[in-house]
Amino acid sequence: MSISITQLQGVGAKTAAHLKRLNITTIEELLFHLPIRYEDRSHVKPIAHLAVGDNALIEGTIQASEIKSHKSGRGRSLICLFSDSSGSMMLRFFHFNQKLVASLKPGTHLRCFGEVRQGYHCLELIHPEFKQLNANETLFIEHFTAIYPTTEGLYQTTLRTLIQQAFNYLTTNEIIDYLPPEILTERQFPTLADALQIIHYPTTEAIVKQLQEKQHIALHRLAFEELLAHHLSLRVLHQYAQHRQAPQLNNNGHLVQTLLTQLSFNLTSAQQRVYAEIAADLRQPHPMQRLLQGDVGSGKTVIAALSALQAIESGYQVAVMSPTELLSEQHKNTFVQWLSTFEISISWLTGQLTKKQRTTTLNDIVSGSSALILGTHALFQKEVEFNRLGLVIIDEQHRFGVHQRLALHDKGNQNGLYPHQLIMTATPIPRTLAMTAYANLDISVIDELPPGRTPVNTAIIPNSRREEVVERIKQVCQQGRQAYWVCPLIEESETLQLQAASEIAEQLRLSLSELRIGLLHGRMKAKEKEQVMADFKSQNLDLLVATTVVEVGVDVANASLMIIENAERLGLAQLHQLRGRVGRGSEQSYCLLLYQPPLSSLQKSRLAAIRDIHDGFIIAQTDLELRGAGEVLGVKQAGITNLRVANLQQDKALLEHIQIVGKILLETQPDNCQRLIDRWIQKNWKYVGLTH
């Protein structure tokens, strides 16, 4: 059914251009352009019974028609006096041509549908949909009429006419069902043609109700196919990568063992298990693609360090990419500390280096004298060339799009060898999302916190008790502990955010004049940020007022109090990340969520969840239920959040079976897999990094 839409009657260049704006270029794509709602057109209403605001079906005869100029002198309209046996009203058309004028002459019998509005002298229908009836003709009354997403210049009547033509094509050009018959039987799914017929032309009120509530089996059948297509696209991407070659990072593990003996702590059993999985992948001749999930404070950074040493001992470079300079700097400081006894050259590449520093760093990277390179997205810029890149580690993966990760992956291509990839996140991904959005990655989970970690006590406090919160800071800091005061984004403006943080810092300096208070935000130069964090870590500051740049990576064990301003504005995952900046030592820590009443029901649910739940994976699942997949994954993962029919939360029961069916199809019907992918996400291949 890849027949051009221009084969349909009435589709000229202009209509084709309108349809293209809706991503419709073929007859099959038109059939998959599904209704957003339905209108009941089963009852003809007498004109005398109409009320303003009704969506009504009426039938009658045009008594008179004329073209009138508007009172303002700008433009004209075609108006028709229309009546039935009960009364009269006006039909008004602001946009018309001679063909329309000719079709609406006095004596013409019509059936019209539209929204009733109050006109100058009587009720009116503005630009109603209408059908002309012959004398004494009884037209079959439509029961439920589909209303479609449309675009300027493309009317509902045009869409419905074209979709009816597309269905007529099905009689001679059957739409291919790529789901095996046994799957249809097992899940009691209708055929694809039958499912589309039901969705476009529901025949009963009960079916319409099920369709509108997303409960009808016809929609489940399409949702299954769409989720399967997304799953297959990522599995194909995984296979695509598996056919590439990668360096085998196999050595005696001397550097790894040396670091383990020098650390001041022992790995948890979960960390040992996860590193074993990664180490085994790094020894393989094809690129590792592994997602490392771990709750806040579970110890992912040490796993990254061990993985890096395995690559470096094999003679390869390692790139560690972080979403912010602050987090990148934290990683640099940690690696420098852990690897101080190793003869390993470490480079840090960010956007704030001087021209001379940047030139020196780039030369060290391309020559191979730098073995470990840390930085932000600057790492995948064009002028950065690696000598022997063997491993890419990407932290907080949800901050980067798939195409950005692939850019760094492809940059490491040396004589047909591609680097391994370790992708880390401290924002646990619900299993339903991981199964769908990250089906191209193998997943490791650190599901155990280091010993001695105490859950952070969390309280929800209205702004009216602000003075009590300030007093609490004084008490904590006088006991030798430290505190954060975080100011989240006030609006989509970094300037306003910094202004708010600066004002709060000044207010707190007046209220807490005996305390040493620092300010940290994203606009500060790298050296300034480094100095503030160094002062806070060395306890030369008691209170750090900051924007959400402290969300990830900041590790100060002596900090035991976190205040989050306007906490109602933040999502669960971000609140959990911020709370994770405290509770990193053995002392009991506290997180105070300051909010500005009144709260919406969603905000109340979110704050109650963060107060009562400490497990990041449960928080992630709750976040998914409250906000949906698009918000949880972020816009960077647009390929899976732009689902047309399926809903990851509502349709999660389908996902287990989709994995099984996907495996079978890839093994037995690879050609159909590609066709299924093309049907559903052909235009979104850019999100998974493939082109064809």
* Confidence (pLDDT) at 404: 59
CATH label of the domain that carries residue 91: 2.40.50.140
Task: Report how far residue 552's alpha carbon sits from residue 571's, in angstroms, rounded to the nearest whole number.
Answer: 15
| Three-class SS state of 68 | strand
Same domain, 93 and 182: no
Task: Answer yes or no: is 118 within a domain.
Answer: yes
| 560 neighbors 473 (Cβ within 8 angstroms) | no
Do 372 and 518 reside in the same domain of the chain? no
Residue 79 and residue 107 in one domain: yes
**The pLDDT of residue 585:** 76
Question: What residues contact 72, with CB distance under 8 A and at least 6 apart?
Answer: none
CB 28 within 8 A of CB 16: no
> Tokens standing for 312?
């470096």
Cα–Cα distance measured from residue 403 to residue 382, given in angstroms and rounded to the nearest whole number: 14
* Same-domain status, 116 and 9: no
561-579 pLDDT tens trace:
999 999 998 888 888 888 9
Q: What is the DSSP code string of 492-534?
A: S-HHHHHHHHHHHHHHHHHHTTTS-EEEE-TTS-HHHHHHHHH
Q: Is residue 260 part of a domain?
A: no
Specify the 3-state DSSP secondary structure of 484: strand
Rounded Cα distance, 214 and 199, in Å: 11
Positions of the chain with pLDDT lower than 50, given as ranges: 490-492, 631-638, 684-692
| SS3 at position 540 | coil
Q: 428 and 317 share a domain?
A: yes
Residue ending a domain, choose from 205, 226, 249? 205
| Residue 443: closest CA among 312, 294, 585 | 294
Alpha-helical runs (H) found in 560-644: 572-579, 601-612, 616-627, 629-633, 638-641
Same domain as 359, residue 423: yes
H/E run at residue 290:
strand 289-294
**Nearest alpha-carbon partner for 549 in 525, 514, 510, 578:** 578
Q: How far are the Cα atoms of 207, 296, 341, 442 from residue 338, in angstroms, in the given order?
A: 64, 20, 8, 28
List 458's β-bridge partners, or say none: 591
CATH number for the domain spanning 328: value is: 3.40.50.300
15 in a structural domain: yes
- Which helix (H) or strand (E) element contains residue 63? strand 55-69
Determine if residue 153 is left, alpha or beta; phi over 0 gives left, psi from -120 to 50 gives alpha, anything else beta: left
| Model pLDDT for residues 312-336, shown as the tens digit of each residue | 999 999 999 988 887 888 889 899 9
Radius of gyration of the chain (CA): 32
Distances (CA, A) of 309 to 270, 273, 315, 390, 672: 19, 17, 10, 11, 43
Shared domain for 481 and 606, answered yes or no, is: yes
Question: Per-residue b/e over 400-409, b at no fewer than 16 CB within 10 Å?
Answer: bbbebbbbbb
Taking CA atoms, 587 is separated from 448, 455, 456, 482, in Å, by: 19, 10, 10, 11
CA angle 444, 449, 452 (to 5 degrees): 165
Residues in Cβ contact with 136 at an 8 Å cutoff, skipping those fewer than 6 apart: none
441 and 480, same domain (yes or no):
no
- Among 79, 101, 132, the domain-final residue is 132
- Residue 427 and residue 278 share a domain: yes
User: Which residue is associated with the tokens 């109340």?
Assistant: 604
Residue 655 lies in a domain: no
Of residues 277, 280, 310, the one with CA closest to residue 291? 277
Domain end: 72, 105, 132, which one? 132
Answer yes or no: are the C-beta atoms of 585 and 560 closer than 8 Å.
Answer: yes
The structure tokens listed for 421 are: 């990839």
Cβ neighbours of residue 653 closer than 8 Å, sequence gap 6 or more:
none
Distance CA 449, CA 586 (A): 13
pTM of the model: 0.73
- What's the rounded Cα separation, in Å, for the pair 487 and 505? 10
Q: Is residue 631 part of a domain?
A: no
3-state helix, strand, coil in the chain (%, to 5): 45, 20, 35
Give one DSSP letter per residue of 84-121, joined into a string: ETTEEEEEEESS--HHHHHHT-TT-EEEEEEEEEE-SS
How many domains, in total, are found in the chain? 4
Residue 664 counted as domain residue: no
Residue 14 sits in the same domain as residue 100: no
Q: Are residues 421 and 354 in the same domain?
A: yes
Burial class (CB in 10 A: 0-12, 13-18, 19+), 96: middle
What's the domain range around 546?
A: 457-613
Q: Say if 671 falls within a structural domain.
A: no
Residue 246 lies in a domain: no
- As a whole number of angstroms, the longest Cα–Cα distance in the chain is 98
Asked if residue 363 and residue 501 are part of one domain, the reply reads no
